[in-house]
Amino acid sequence: MVSLDLLKSLSLVSPTKIILLVIDGLGGLPRPETGKTELETAKTPNLDRLAASGVCGLSDPVGPGITPGSSPAHMALFGYDPVVSNIGRGVLEIVGIDFDLQPGDVVARGNFCTADKTGLVTDRRAGRIPSEKCVELCRLLDGLVIENVEILVRPVREHRFAVVFRGEGLSSEVSDSDPQQVGAPPKIVSALAIKAARTARIANQFVAQAEVILVGHFPANMILLRGFSQRPVWPTMGEIYKLTPAAVVSYPMYRGLARLVGMDVLSTGNGIEEEFRTLIQNYKKYDFFFLHIKGADAAGEDGDFDRKVAVIEQVDQAVTGLIRLQPDVIVVTGDHSTPALLHAHSWHPVPVLLSSHWCRPDGVKEFSELACIDGGLGRLPATNIMSLVMAHALKLKKFGA
Amino acid sequence: MVSLDLLKSLSLVSPTKIILLVIDGLGGLPRPETGKTELETAKTPNLDRLAASGVCGLSDPVGPGITPGSSPAHMALFGYDPVVSNIGRGVLEIVGIDFDLQPGDVVARGNFCTADKTGLVTDRRAGRIPSEKCVELCRLLDGLVIENVEILVRPVREHRFAVVFRGEGLSSEVSDSDPQQVGAPPKIVSALAIKAARTARIANQFVAQAEVILVGHFPANMILLRGFSQRPVWPTMGEIYKLTPAAVVSYPMYRGLARLVGMDVLSTGNGIEEEFRTLIQNYKKYDFFFLHIKGADAAGEDGDFDRKVAVIEQVDQAVTGLIRLQPDVIVVTGDHSTPALLHAHSWHPVPVLLSSHWCRPDGVKEFSELACIDGGLGRLPATNIMSLVMAHALKLKKFGA
């Protein structure tokens, strides 16, 4: 991949506009009866037209053979090394509930649990209390201030919550309080580095106060914390590419990821048409749009070949609205493959199409896995897509003299 | 390439089985009269069928334009960086004679030479004594013990032998005794690092004792040592991939290489059919087989186009025995190209075919250099093959969340 430093030194502000349309889990495997994948089965006249006038290829999100999670797969699409920029579990948890994490915040994943009279944990999940109960208990714990550190508590689901410690000089280098077994007491949170001593002390005070607050809320009468982590420090897309980027995303985790790379996350609805409408309405205000469609991945994970086909066809219809905007670059791709046959993410490379006035067209006439093999982009690491996009939008200067 | 650390963190044990069939020197160049390479000339209905149902590509063993030796070419196929893992000459020499090198052993290449009465070397190769004489002299030197270090001496060919120093705390950081010219005395072996002082002392004592033992064996009355090296330290295939790997290989150097990456090396015969039979007989005991066929490379180096064609056709017939085993992944490739027209290894990329229930088929209908250009694997570094193999065998977890 081209280094972010090099891209930063070459990128320039220009009035050209880019749309990155990510159909989550786009790549598939052929259904044995027809020999055609989901994308090959779908009727996609508009995407085919874009492919015919554009340049296509197949991308590896993390590396050949590696099945990516959604988070590294998206980081690669945004141009970041997906292994180096892999995000801690605690941060993903909070990012996944649409929380605006700040630099310096320390996050931990939390469980409500059951402790007996002697303080031993008897159920690490407090009998999986209902999510509504979790919301209610989080409200009791939220907003405490210990040693000038604000403690924000957010429900996730059932017994799970996330806690954010916000203040000066915090460190995530502390150990878990979760003993990971029943019959043991919660552990004391310990500093794993000298600079983390204060954070450990505050975390232990928080646990102690939570124990008092939760008295009478059996079975959820104690908490366990684990996976302390901090928002990773990396340059934003604005800094690297000098873009003013916006994300149109309905699914919380991706909204969080978009925020972590410095995108404005626009309010939108859950449906495909609503997302496209949101983009169109905000088209003048930004020069880069990350438009994320979750449905194809969800259908693939459910093993529902036909539903995945239907989602792709729906996107194909909606894409005419984007073409009408005449953006300088439209890229259509997935973050990874999710073949319905596998009911899961997979390692198979992902079709990419790049349409622009300045692309050198290849012989690809339709947008499909098979056709993309012969595409002019060849087989490329997903991290290369952003530099290609920037080039085709004439947003990169010449390197060297 | 995907790092071995990442693969190690993602690999898991599963009951699926993998066969890596390496036709040494597989890639070729077209014969001018027909415009077809050796592989394209050979009748290979079975390999063609595998190619049609599988996914194909062309691989670069070390890098585009680099003609590899057999050792780095195989290291790349096993997933190791072929430049980083390049093996010292002394180790290759001993590995090439099927010697079971242990961690800590120090190896040197040896020459029997001729010294005059004043101790000056008059012939560095002792008149190229016959190999049988070498065997006899090695027997005289083999088995000495100096300062608790056992010294093993093995004949290679003509005046060449290998010596292994086996004991605690040895180091290969010592200089050669070979003066690389006649008219000079053998050099004293010197330590190039403090920790190597004892090894140098022992090597010098060995040379002195050899001089005494070889009195009366003119022209082979002295020895010269060079290229001290140690078995490289790298993780085994068991450690990286959690495989239980076996090698079916008749040619000694490849047996040695397979041992160095932690494979069980099975006893087998010299013929292609015997090798295939050995694999089939041991199929239940292992989950990864490296099956190595030397004949195609030897024919290529001899410039014998037709013999190379015949070897490939023989493999094509035998491959039906592997298909019948229904392994989860079969890969057929070469370690490098050896075009008969060049009489030598070459830099041309090597055809690869990967057949598995979980591959996304491409449009390739036959196994040939020309057809593989359009394969779904594209053009790939050979180091990527193992991560793809592992993925298709469902032996890799998802990366990231």
Per-residue pLDDT, B1: 79
Report chain B residues whose CB lies below 8 A from the CB of A345: 398
Per-residue pLDDT tens for A229-280? 988 888 999 999 999 999 999 888 888 899 899 999 999 988 999 999 999 9
Q: What Cα–Cα distance (Å) separates residue A317 from each residue in A140, A299, A389?
A: 47, 18, 23
Interface test with B, best of A26, A66, A370 (most B CBs within 10 A): A66
Per-residue pLDDT, B250: 87
Sequence-distant (≥ 6) Cβ neighbours of residue B376 within 8 angstroms: A58, A349, A373, B55, B56, B57, B359, B360, B361, B362, B364
- Put simply, the answer to whether B400 touches A345 (Cβ < 8 Å) is no
How many CB pairs below 8 Å do chains A and B form together?
95
Residue A49 host element (H or E): helix A45-53
Q: Read off the tokens for A395.
A: 């947003």
Report chain A residues whose CB lies below 8 A from the CB of B362: 370, 373
List A379's β-bridge partners, or say none. A58
- Put simply, the answer to whether A64 touches B397 (Cβ < 8 Å) is no
Per-residue pLDDT, B126: 95
3-state secondary structure chain B: CCCHHHHHHHECCCCCCEEEEEECCEECCCECCCCECHHHHCCCHHHHHHHHHCEEEEEECCCCCCCCCHHHHHHHHCCCCCCCCCCCHHHHHHHCCCCCCCCCCEEEEEEEEEECCCCCEEECCCCCCCHHHHHHHHHHHCCEEECCEEEEEEEEECCEEEEEEECCCCCCCECCCCCCCCCCCCCCCCECCHHHHHHHHHHHHHHHHHHHHCCCCCCCCEEEEEEEEECCCCCCHHHHHCCCEEEECCCHHHHHHHHHCCCEECCCCCCHHHHHHHHHHCHHHCCEEEEEECHHHHHHHCCCHHHHHHHHHHHHHHHHHHHHCCCCEEEEECCCECCCCCCCCECCCEEEEEEECCCCCCCCCCCCHHHHCCCCCEEEEHHHHHHHHHHHCCCECCECC
- Put simply, the answer to whether B387 touches A65 (Cβ < 8 Å) is yes
Per-residue pLDDT, B241: 98
Can you say whether the dihedral through the CA atoms of A185, A191, A196, A197 is positive or negative?
Answer: positive
Is B284 within 8 Å of chain A by CB?
no
Q: What is the DSSP letter of A79?
A: T
Cα separation, B321 vs A248, whole angstroms: 54
- Put simply, the answer to whether A30 touches B361 (Cβ < 8 Å) is yes
Q: Read off the tokens for A279.
A: 């983009």
Cα separation, A74 vs A56, whole angstroms: 19
Residues of chain B whose pLDDT is less than 70?
A: none
Smallest CA–CA distance, residue A84 to chain B, in Å, is 11
Nearest CB neighbour to B398, from listed A69, A82, A373: A69
Smallest CA–CA distance, residue B400 to chain A, in Å, is 5
Report chain B residues whose CB lies below 8 A from the CB of A70: 401
CA-based max dimension of chain B: 75
CB-CB contact of B56 with B327 (8 Å): no
Is A30 within 8 Å of chain B by CB?
yes
Is A378 within 8 Å of chain B by CB?
yes
Per-residue pLDDT, A91: 86
Between CA B55 and CA B60, with CA B57 as vertex, the angle to 5 degrees is 145
For B8, the closest chain A residue by CA position comes to A66
Report chain B residues whose CB lies below 8 A from the CB of A252: none
Is B108 within 8 Å of chain A by CB?
no
Predicted-complex ipTM score: 0.86
Per-residue pLDDT, B203: 97
- Put simply, the answer to whether B396 touches A64 (Cβ < 8 Å) is no
- Put simply, the answer to whether B380 touches A378 (Cβ < 8 Å) is no
A245-248/A288-293 β-pairing: parallel
Smallest CA–CA distance, residue A384 to chain B, in Å, is 15
Residue A347 main-chain phi, psi, to 5 deg: -90, -5
Nearest CB neighbour to B2, from listed A63, A345, A346: A63
Is B394 within 8 Å of chain A by CB?
no
B149-157/B222-230 β-pairing: unpaired
Nearest CB neighbour to B401, from listed A35, A71, A378: A71
CB-CB contact of B334 with B60 (8 Å): no
- B341 φψ region: left (φ > 0), alpha (ψ -120 to 50), beta (else): alpha
Per-residue pLDDT, B49: 98
Sequence-distant (≥ 6) Cβ neighbours of residue A101 within 8 angstroms: A91, A94, A95, A107, A164, A231, A256, A259, A260
Is B357 within 8 Å of chain A by CB?
no
Is A340 within 8 Å of chain B by CB?
no
Q: What average pLDDT values come out for chain A (401 residues) when binned by 10 residues?
A: 94 97 98 97 98 98 96 96 85 80 92 95 94 96 97 93 95 94 95 95 97 95 94 91 96 87 92 96 98 96 98 98 98 98 98 97 97 97 98 97 88
- Put simply, the answer to whether A67 touches B363 (Cβ < 8 Å) is no
Torsion angle defined by CA atoms of residues B359, B361, B364 and B370, in that order, rounded to the nearest 10 degrees = -40
Q: From start to end of A39-116, where are the E strands? A: 55-60, 106-115
- A216 φψ region: left (φ > 0), alpha (ψ -120 to 50), beta (else): left
Smallest CA–CA distance, residue B248 to chain A, in Å, is 25
Which of B238, B250, B239 is closest to B286 using CA atoms? B238
Report chain A residues whose CB lies below 8 A from the CB of B389: 65
